[in-house]
Amino acid sequence: MDDTLFQAISTSEGLHAAEWFLDGESIGQGVSSTLPLDVPRPDFYEFCLIVTSEDGCLDTLCKDIEISNNVKVWVPTGFTPNEDDLNSEFSAVVDGQEYVSNYSLQVFDRKGVMVFESNELEKPWSGESERGAENPQGVYHWLITMNVFGEA
């Protein structure tokens, strides 16, 4: 989720009080509330509403909600490894890296020969081969694989 606040509205009639819970913890009160959704990771969470009628009767409604990961990956279409500090390295930009494991970036030349490999998000390709030689300007293919928490 990009936003950690959401609007919850009870459509119950004749209420005296309403309290909202997430996994057993009170997160807000009122028939219509803007509630914080501060969850540590994507998963299923129990979301409950406990209401008290004007006559003092209690009722509870609980539903499991799924919070999906929000991992976004952006990969540039090119780069200029000419040491001018402008787009000098090639790598994926991953928003939500805390949910990513087993990351791998492989770069191949036109013949299919791997010229670069990294298993770290923070290690981009500078355009050089593993032996430090510059690769010629041209078209290269890349493959990124990763596991994302909560995805099959």
In tens, the pLDDT along 29-46 reads 888 888 777 777 777 889
In tens, the pLDDT along 78-99 reads 888 877 778 888 999 998 888 8
Q: Tell me: domain 5-67, CATH 3.10.350.10, correct? A: no
Helix (H, G, I), strand (E, B) or coil at 147: strand
Mean local confidence (pLDDT), 11-30: 89
Model pLDDT, residue 61:
92
Domains 5-67 and 72-148 alike in fold: yes
Assess whether pLDDT exceeds 80 at residue 52: yes
Q: Which residue has the higher pLDDT, 103 or 84?
A: 103
Q: What angle do CA 97, 98, 103 make, to 5 degrees?
A: 55
Fold adopted by 72-148:
Immunoglobulin-like (2.60.40)
φ/ψ of residue 122, rounded to 5: -85, 0
Q: pTM for the complete prediction?
A: 0.58
Which band of pLDDT confidence, cut at 50, 70 and 90, is reported for residue 152?
A: low
Which band of pLDDT confidence, cut at 50, 70 and 90, is reported for residue 8?
A: confident
Taking a C-beta distance cutoff of 8 angstroms, is the pair 18, 44 a contact?
no
User: In the chain, where are the structural domains located?
Assistant: 5-67, 72-148
In tens, the pLDDT along 137-151 reads 889 999 999 988 766
Long-range contacts of 41-44 (CB under 8 A, 24+ apart): 41/99, 41/149, 41/150, 42/66, 42/67, 42/68, 42/69, 42/70, 42/99, 42/149, 42/150, 43/67, 43/150
